[in-house]
Amino acid sequence: MRDPVTLAIVAGDAPELHGRLLATLHAALPRVAVLDPSAFACDLAGTEELLGAPARVARNVMARCARTGARVSAGIAPTPFVARVVAERTPPGEVRSVGDGRAFLAPLPLDLLPVDPKVHEELHLLGLRTVGEFADLPRGSVFDRFGSAVARAHALARGEYGDMVRASAPPRRIRARRAWDDAIGSREQLVFALRVVVDEISAALARDGFAALRLELRLDREDEGPLRIERTVLPPTREAAALLRSLRWALEERAELGLVTGCALEVPEVEAARGRQIGLFAPDGARKEEAIATARFLRAKLGKGAVLRAKVADEAARLPERANEWVEVIA
């Protein structure tokens, strides 16, 4: 089990730099979550061998953030909540590290806990003034009297609540382009030429563990303006054959493509690629589309009566030819 370490980065005076700060943190650290505008939590668990000690990582990150023009402060603690509180109470340009979250929070006012104002009033009426006094209450009593939301705040006050840093994947442009010296006038040749581009996109998706949900293809043409094609890929996939087939179908819908001199293929929308159980014996409907596409290809190559699906029409029939019924997979 890795020791939890969270680095919180807070830039209170620069909400307009939120986007640039987020991009900077995404480029430097593996897991970055947004807590509030210009407030970020970065999960550093398990990164020490690769990136160095948390304090060193914090200084590097702060130097990068300084280049965006923001003055940020950093807090390091076992949990995101404590790290954020530490960062908010640290002067800009400095790093502070806290090992015992509960001891750090104990003297601080109760107001910093994320609970309803009415609960704050009630705790005040009970004579509680600091986080430490609230943390000393028995956990079960807090839960019984105030419910789960305040029990969560109670755990935060004890520095125990190891809420996960829910990181979002950094936006990344997955794009490939090609220019051809000789213009392509045939659809088949174009599909063949696109295969290389699709393979490149497929490899990029595989590297990041993504599946393409949408494809945007721009075809540069010799005598006309660029042709833009947008496709939605369902089910989302990263397999080159499926992506190319989707593009081929889109090209077949167009009567005239013109002379194509180059292309740019981009994946504007992705989702995490899911693992698949090989469907030898389990239902595997998601791949039926692929099987039908292959059946269509074989039907075109082998002709009528070659690609069939069998049905049992009458189990009790005396003649075998009456027991079975054969239907074309592709009519």
Footprint of another protein (CB under 8 A): 239, 241-242, 278-280, 283-284, 287-295, 297-298, 301-302, 305-312, 315, 320, 323-324, 326, 329
Angle at 244 between CA 238 and CA 250, to 5 degrees: 120
Structural tokens at position 254: 């167009």
> Whole-number minimum distance, CB 317 to another protein, in Å?
9
CA-CA distance, 285 to 233, in Å (whole number)?
Answer: 16
Q: For another protein, which is the closer residue by CB, 55 or 308?
A: 308
CB of 238 to another protein, least distance (A): 11
Best CA proximity match to 115, nearest among 131, 103, 101: 131
- Residue 118's SS3 state is helix
Least separation, in Å, of the C-beta of 312 and another protein? Answer: 5
CB neighbourhood size of 30 (10 A): 15
Closest CA to 11 of 53, 78, 82, 67: 67
User: For the chain, how long is the longest CA-to-CA vector?
Assistant: 92
Phi, psi (rounded to 5 degrees) for 8: -105, 135
CB of 100 or CB of 325, closer to another protein: 325
Q: How far is the CB of 325 from another protein (least distance, A)?
A: 8
Residue written as tokens 């889109």?
250
Question: Which CB sits closer to another protein, 153 or 211?
Answer: 211
User: The tokens of 24 are what?
Assistant: 């900077």
Nearer to another protein, 151 or 244 (CB): 244
Amino acid at 137: L
**Considering the complex, what minimum distance in angstroms separates the CB of residue 278 from another protein?**
6
Joined together, the tokens standing for residue 1 give: 């089990």
Least separation in angstroms between CB 210 and another protein: 17
Nearest approach, Cβ of residue 13 and another protein (Å) = 53
Closest CA to 159 of 97, 76, 100, 87: 100
Which of 198, 266, 270 is closest to 226 using CA atoms?
266
CB of 27 or CB of 291, closer to another protein: 291
Tell me how far apart the alpha carbons of residues 7 and 42 are, in angstroms, rounded to a whole number: 5
Kindly tell me which of 88 and 290 has the beta carbon lying closer to another protein: 290
Strands 210-221, 324-328: pairing kind? unpaired
Cβ closest to another protein, residue 29 vs residue 242 = 242
Q: Shortest approach of another protein to residue 195 CB, angstroms? A: 13
What token pair was written down for 20? 């640039």
Given the complex with another protein, which of 127 and 283 has the nearer CB atom? 283
